[in-house]
Structure 1
Amino acid sequence: MAALNYNHLRYFWAVAHDGNLTRTAVRLNLTQSALSVQIRKLEEQLGHQLFERRGRQLHLTEAGRIALDHADAIFATGKDLLSTLLQVGAARQALRVGALATLSRNFQMAFLKPVLGRNDIELVLRSGGAGELLRSLEMLSLDVVLTDQAPARDALTPFVTHRIAEQPVSLVGTPARLAVAASLAERLRTEPLILPHSGSSIRADFDALTDRLNVRPRIVAEVEDMALMRLLAREDLGLAVLPPIVVRDEIATGLLVEAGRLPGIVETFYAVAVERRFPNSLLRELLAEKAI
């Protein structure tokens, strides 16, 4: 196999970061056709198309995203070489993780723990809404999305959904609020409740539970963000319906306590990827440890 032409790679790298062939050609003082030829030669050598055109925009293919990861590492190493004679550390591999903005931070940390602190890994973390993150996943700018709702899969959206954890759901409150013993039905009937938003799976299961118990709960707050639910529970606004992992530290210190598990209610966590010809090996390692 012929040696990689780094001039071709540098031209590709510049276009990939600009996202615009014409603008890059002007910046590099080249004609657009000359720049296109250089990129085509790199594609021929690698045996894969690196860009696809959508309208006037260039978008990286999966092979292009992988080539860009390596190009970033190669040229970063070259920059280090110019500044010092001693190169410290090894090449770093990127892992791009998206997570729902409302997802438990404790769960996210538990999922990522095997790769935290590794000098050979660059961890890129993004949060946002489900639609935004899944679109980024489809465009290959993310390797995985962490969510508590499994997305639909069809021929146009080839998501691969891994069920990686299940957490029980409990009633959680301050020790003062839970000082007097009471049954689950009594607490649900008499105590003010902080509930997840109506679109969540926990809320659907909770509503079914209160219907079975013939209880009409007194709702003081409906919240999307688990972190905000935790804060409201700490402020003693009421009993919160959430997985204990969300308030693990508060339970450990006695600031909050569990009133009891809610029967039949769990929160399921998913790692969503897409079918890829070149899957990220780091993601494979994480999923091998976490999948259930």
Structure 2
Amino acid sequence: MQHLNYNHLYYFWMVKRKGSVAKAAEALCLAPQTITGQIRSLEDRLKGSLFKRVGRNLEATELGELVYRYVDKMFSLSYEMLDVLNYHKDESILFEVGIADALSKALSSRVLLSVIPSDGSMHLACYEATHENLIQRLREHKLDMILSDCAGESLKYPDILSKKLGECGVGFFSSNPISVGFPQCLEHEKLLIPSKHSSLGQQLHRWFAEKNLNVSVLGEFDDAAMMKAFGYFKRGIFVAPSVYRHDILAQGMHLLGETADVKEEYHVMFAERMIQHPAVKRLLDTDFTDLFAGLDPQVQDYDHRIAFTE
């Protein structure tokens, strides 16, 4: 067999990964007709169809699945090579991290600060989005690591490793005291809670049902900082990790109650290729017990300075 055209293989790989010619063309900044023509040339070369249409969707044929298994390894390795070269080519090592927007900014920053050397030898780049979006970016080699509140999605992909860093219970805070006992007091004012897309939001809804609480939700938030800001502006009861209770109380808020039945979890996820990245290695070796127990002095000092802005 003569030499294959790697551009044809790459276009096929992108269509299979993106699920359609239109999405692949958008990602590659090419016209859909160009992509279609290149794949037809590859099919002529391989003497068989790579895709079949099922309804409005494209699905790989048996030949397509076979070809994809090989080209996926080939292009994944090429991206891995670029990743390794990228964080070694400059004087400072690049460390690109995705942070789930449902997580506390203070805890997230403390986790990252624990692995960033103070000598300027590492350049940190943070990207905030939903957990699903971050997983996609990690698999596309656009991130080195993810901090998230759940690891379930990563279990679908054998090339992504994960580790639970820690967890902490949550407290319910309000600008006004409520004389009714906890947790029944949560029925007496509207709630500000994380969205159902987050692990914490799902846990809260289950907990409300288990406690037979007839709560009224004013708003659900993907961004924990926005939820907290609404609470500070006296718009309802908001939820926050218990490790921040002292600082939140210092801002004039009232603690209505706490529970360890609902936990904010922190997981780190990274591609297997990144296990040699110095920041990832350092993070995996770090003990965060004090941090999640609320005993970390750097977080306490940090919170006193940024509590209102978050």
TM-score by length of 1: 0.65
> How far does the alpha carbon of each residue in 1:109-130 deviate from its partner, in whole angstroms, 9 at most, with x for none?
1111221643211112112233
Deviation of 1:172 after TM superposition, in Å, equals 1.1
Q: Aligned pair in 2 of structure 1 residues 131, 173: CA closer, same or farther (>3 Å)?
A: same
1:128 is aligned to: 129
Q: Aligned pair in 2 of structure 1 residues 132, 246: CA closer, same or farther (>3 Å)?
A: farther
Match 2:207 to one of 206, 209, 223: 209
User: C-alpha separation between the residues in 2 aligned to 1:155 and 1:215?
Assistant: 34
User: C-alpha separation between the residues in 1 aligned to 2:133 and 2:221?
Assistant: 20
Root-mean-square deviation (CA, aligned residues, Å) is: 2.9
User: C-alpha separation between the residues in 2 aligned to 1:106 and 1:130?
Assistant: 18
Deviation of 1:249 after TM superposition, in Å, equals 4.2
User: C-alpha separation between the residues in 2 aligned to 1:278 and 1:223?
Assistant: 33
SS in structure 2 of the partner of residue 164 of structure 1 = strand
2:307 is aligned to: none
Match 1:219 to one of 208, 217, 220: 217
The unaligned stretches of length 5 or more in structure 1 are 1-19, 21-51, 74-90
1:47 is aligned to: none
Deviation of 1:273 after TM superposition, in Å, equals 0.8
Q: Aligned pair in 2 of structure 1 residues 139, 258: CA closer, same or farther (>3 Å)?
A: same
Q: Aligned pair in 2 of structure 1 residues 207, 131: CA closer, same or farther (>3 Å)?
A: closer
> How far does the alpha carbon of each residue in 1:71-109 deviate from its partner, in whole angstroms, 9 at most, with x for none?
3x2xxxxxxxxxxxxxxxxx3222211112332211211
User: C-alpha separation between the residues in 2 aligned to 1:232 and 1:285?
Assistant: 36
SS in structure 1 of the partner of residue 200 of structure 2 = helix
Match 2:82 to one of 64, 82, 85: 64
Pairing of 1:1-292 with structure 2 (within 5 A): 60-71=78-89, 73=90, 91-114=91-114, 115=116, 117-153=118-154, 156-174=157-175, 177-178=176-177, 180-245=178-243, 249-251=247-249, 253-276=250-273, 279-290=276-287
CA contact (8 A) 2:195 2:221 kept: yes
User: C-alpha separation between the residues in 2 aligned to 1:209 and 1:277?
Assistant: 37
CA contact (8 A) 2:242 2:258 kept: no
Deviation of 1:227 after TM superposition, in Å, equals 0.7
Q: Aligned pair in 2 of structure 1 residues 110, 214: CA closer, same or farther (>3 Å)?
A: same
SS in structure 1 of the partner of residue 183 of structure 2 = helix
Deviation of 1:263 after TM superposition, in Å, equals 4.2
CA contact (8 A) 2:95 2:144 kept: yes
Aligned length in residues: 218
SS in structure 2 of the partner of residue 61 of structure 1 = helix
Higher alpha-carbon Rg: 1
Deviation of 1:285 after TM superposition, in Å, equals 0.4
SS in structure 2 of the partner of residue 141 of structure 1 = coil
SS in structure 1 of the partner of residue 120 of structure 2 = coil
SS in structure 1 of the partner of residue 150 of structure 2 = coil
Q: Aligned pair in 2 of structure 1 residues 131, 198: CA closer, same or farther (>3 Å)?
A: closer
Q: Aligned pair in 2 of structure 1 residues 229, 154: CA closer, same or farther (>3 Å)?
A: closer
CA contact (8 A) 1:163 1:291 kept: no
> How far does the alpha carbon of each residue in 1:18-53 deviate from its partner, in whole angstroms, 9 at most, with x for none?
xx9xxxxxxxxxxxxxxxxxxxxxxxxxxxxxxx98
SS in structure 1 of the partner of residue 209 of structure 2 = helix
